[in-house]
Chain A
Amino acid sequence: MFYREAGQFKASYAEDARIFPIRQDRIGFWVLMLVLGVAVPLFSNEYWLKAILIPVLIFSLAALGLNILTGYAGQLSLGSAAFMAVGAFAAYNFMLRIDGMPFLLALVLAGLTSAGVGILFGLPSLRIKGFYLAVATLAAQFFIVWALVKFPWFSNNSSSGVVTAQAVTILGYTFESPEAKYVLTFLIVAFMALLAKNMVRSSTGRAWMAVRDMDVAAQVIGFRLMRTKLLAFAVSSFYCGVAGALYAYTYIGTVEPEGFNLDLSFKILFMIIIGGVGSIMGSFLGAAFIVLLPILLDNVVPALFGDALGAGFVSNFQLIIFGGLIIFFLIVEPHGLARLWQIAKEKLRLWPFPH
């Protein structure tokens, strides 16, 4: 009844090319942005900001990076966590070794470093596809973590390979409080999500999708495969690298190479599978699902069954529920939560008179 675009005409190209063509969507989007950008830092408590919202945003960004590569360009990768590690350690070294390095520039440089490494490990994609490519990116995962532990230069000769992020200062303001860190993370993630959305709607994204759907056909109609695929690797790694740097600087504060292990790569892959492969929004929904659900279960399950079952069983029981829910969602909607959202919107347009 309320969600209906009747009477909304597109009178110019600019209106036609909007991200949200329906007015209700635009209003909803801006309300959401205001809530997340203004109301949340004003009214939320430290626990929510530090332990829930900041990690969800950062993992969304990493999932977005992987989604560009896997969902849009069709190149399967298991190295996302390693590219995050490159970003985190690159940002640390830029801040450490160059005096007066502005944080945002370090962030961009970290992303570019990660992009460079991504291109290097993307080279096999020119010859191999699918699961074989996944195995090649697995090499990136193990090699990068190994190299960061092996060469003490990366961690400034720290005996345990752990680095501590420096203070984040932009224009003389130090981002220390959880609110400030959250706002900074939010702005960066929002900006990069907008960038990604526009990228996938432009010729770049269309080239990626053409390669994804059938690379031979894409080549025949004139897309240069090497450029397109490597660009996807570069952009994807850039996003993962920035996510890694944010992980170090606005979230955990100290990072060790082992923190970016294969488990994390799989987690990011699950995020896009649950959220929706080939969807910007799906990256956010998937990250929220994978980060929040275990925490929710850890709060709810012991309270409900803690006395009846032993503590050890409760912990395992949570994992069983978590796994069960993932399977449930994949059976109900194999295209992910983003597709569920889309279906809900289509239903809403007809509601309450479906005929």
Chain B
Amino acid sequence: MKLKHTVLLGAAIAGLLGSAVASADEQFIGLPSYRVGPYASGGSGLFGGWIDYMQLVNERDGGVNGVKLTWEECETEYNNARGVECYERLKKKGSTGNSVFQPVSTGITYSVLDKVAQDKIPMVTIGYGRTDAADGRVFPWVFPMITTYWSQASAIVNYMGQKEGGMDKLKGKKIGLLYHDSAYGKESHAIMDKLAAKHGFEVIKIAVAHPGNEQQSQWLQIRQAKPDYVVLWGWGVMNPTAIKAAAKTGFPREKLIGVWWSGAEEDTIPAGPAAKGFVAAGFNVAGANYPVVADIKKHVYGKNKGNMEDKARVGSVYYNRGVVHGIITVEAIRKAQEKYGKGKALTGEQMRWGFENLNLDDARLKALGATGFMPPLKITCADHEGPGKVKFQQWDGSQWKVITDWVESDRPLVRGMIEESAAAYAKEKGIKPRDCSKES
């Protein structure tokens, strides 16, 4: 009997060891998701798309060079304290620990900003978070990729210039800025003031208190001031309310331009027919007719492994934004594996190198089936932002239609502001910026 026990025990231990060896080629990605609370509609779409893309890589390609992706969700409720708890909980999971943290919440981004540098885990904040972190010399561990709030504001002004037939035509125009009265909304002020001074237009800043389901006085103000355009820097329920109020006031929806957190199906559908003609910026576009989304439908939903409960949302703005998160994460893993060994699980430090040397050019995007889906992206040691381009989409009453190519931002102006702000931060915190010529 004893011998039998020993053999069994031995087999059990061998089994455990075996599984431990097998799990060594798994790359763990912690997902601080939010599927309840005020922003659940965005969170469920975004994290659903992200998970589906990783599932696609596992199902179609068998992982990244054979390394399977694993993930675990942790509910943050979009709450900073819960986000910090999730960060700490996910940190040590997986064979190499959590390799990247993407909170999809500006508040949580700030809360873990110092921690990621200590724990050596890169933090990727696509389209939110701390703008001046785009200066990679001061913030080596933070990647506000594709575009920041400041680039977006500048791109929106450039779009208005295009519409008017030249940037010089903006002189003397009035631009209303209807913003969410919070840190997020105020992020627009400095850049809009600079742009107004540069192009000679006037900015009328109008605050909307959270949550923003009452905007009568604000739109009265807009009606009196008669701005040529209104930028909607909104969030959650504030967006459909603003669109409806614009319709009521008779403000043309074509001149109401939303930021990317104002331009999803969740913002326009509740506004009903009033939303027809509304324009919004986005660093990703809506639509299911891109090869990458078609592949997800075929390989993931075809095998009934999809994450979305409502399959009709596949291809929506938030869903596609999640796919962009997935693409960037997976491509960084691929890049880092080129340096640190193909088929190996990476640590956070190695992943950081992958993000910093990420280069998604047109050819790569074509191979991924994402041409036009997101802008080409090149990250360097100094520039953690990348292209800073957005596309503009218009709501036709039932879906988003892309109406422009990628619109550039005023790079020198934005970059100057970023470097100035980052330098001030470095001085306050006593950080010595990296010398990028010495990085490999």
Residues of A within 8 A of B (CB): 46-47, 50-52, 55, 146, 149, 156, 159-162, 164, 251-259, 263, 291, 294-295, 298, 302, 310-316, 318-319
Contacts and interface: CB of A to CB of B under 8 A. Distances in A.
B70 interface: no
A161 to B, nearest CB: 4
B183 A162 contact: yes
Given A160-B184, A315-B36, A298 B113 contact: no
Interface string B105-135: 0110011011100000000000000111000
B33 A311 contact: yes
Q: How large is the interface on B (under 10, 10 to 19, 20 to 34, 35 or more residues)?
A: 35 or more
A259 B84 CA distance: 13
A316 to B, nearest CB: 5
B309 A162 contact: no
A218 B421 CA distance: 57
Given A310-B309, A312-B35, A47 B92 contact: yes
B36 A316 contact: yes
B82 interface: yes
Interface of A is mostly: helix
A55 to B, nearest CB: 6
A257 B115 contact: no
B11 interface: no
B107 A256 contact: yes
Interface stretch (B73-81, B213-221, B240-248, B354-362): B73-81
A291 B186 CA distance: 31
A266 to B, nearest CB: 13
B429 A257 contact: no
B88 A47 contact: yes
B198 interface: no
B89 A149 contact: no
B81 A312 contact: no
Contact of A254 (B74, B111, B187): B111
Contacts of B410: none
A164 B429 contact: yes
B181 A149 contact: yes
Contact of B107 (A156, A253, A259): A259
B41 to A, nearest CB: 10
A98 to B, nearest CB: 15
Nearest to A263: B79
Contact of B183 (A256, A294, A311): A256
Contacts of A46: 88
B440 to A, nearest CB: 30
Contact of A258 (B87, B182, B187): B182
Interface-centre pick from B40, B88, B91, B309 (highest chain A CB count, 10 A): B88
Given A253-B111, A254-B114, 7 more contacts: A160-B187, A164-B428, A253-B115, A263-B79, A298-B75, A314-B35, A315-B36
B190 interface: yes
A252 B80 contact: yes
17 contacts: A47-B91, A47-B92, A146-B209, A156-B428, A159-B131, A159-B187, A161-B182, A161-B186, A251-B81, A253-B114, A254-B113, A259-B80, A294-B82, A311-B73, A312-B44, A313-B309, A316-B35
B186 A50 contact: no
Contact of B110 (A52, A256, A319): A256
A53 to B, nearest CB: 11
Closest 4 pairs between A and B when the two form their complex, measured CB to CB: A51-B88, A315-B35, A161-B183, A160-B183
B314 to A, nearest CB: 15
B85 interface: yes
B344 to A, nearest CB: 26
B186 A254 contact: no
A146 B181 CA distance: 8
A252 B84 contact: yes
Given A160-B106, A252-B81, A312 B75 contact: no
A322 to B, nearest CB: 11
A155 B381 CA distance: 29
Nearest to B111: A252
Interface-centre pick from B85, B92, B132 (highest chain A CB count, 10 A): B85
Interface in B389-434: 421, 428-429
Interface in B168-205: 181-184, 186-187, 189-190
A52 B47 CA distance: 25
Interface string B87-101: 111011000000000
A19 B80 CA distance: 37
Given A160-B106, A259-B80, A302 B73 contact: yes
A253 B109 CA distance: 11
Nearest to B129: A160
Contacts of B106: 160
A214 B84 CA distance: 43
Contact of B89 (A51, A159, A315): A51
Contacts of A258: 107, 182-183, 210
B75 A318 contact: yes
A312 B111 CA distance: 25
A318 B75 CA distance: 10
B102 interface: no
Contacts of A294: 82
Nearest to B310: A312
B307 interface: yes
Contacts of B113: 164, 253-254
A291 B82 CA distance: 9
Given A149-B183, A252-B84, A254-B113, A159 B36 contact: no
A302 B33 CA distance: 13
Nearest to A313: B309
A298 B77 CA distance: 11
Nearest to A52: B85
Nearest to B182: A258
B359 to A, nearest CB: 30
Contacts of B428: 156, 164
Contacts of B91: 47
A51 B84 contact: yes
Contacts of B115: 253
Contacts of A314: 35
Contacts of A156: 428
A52 B33 CA distance: 19
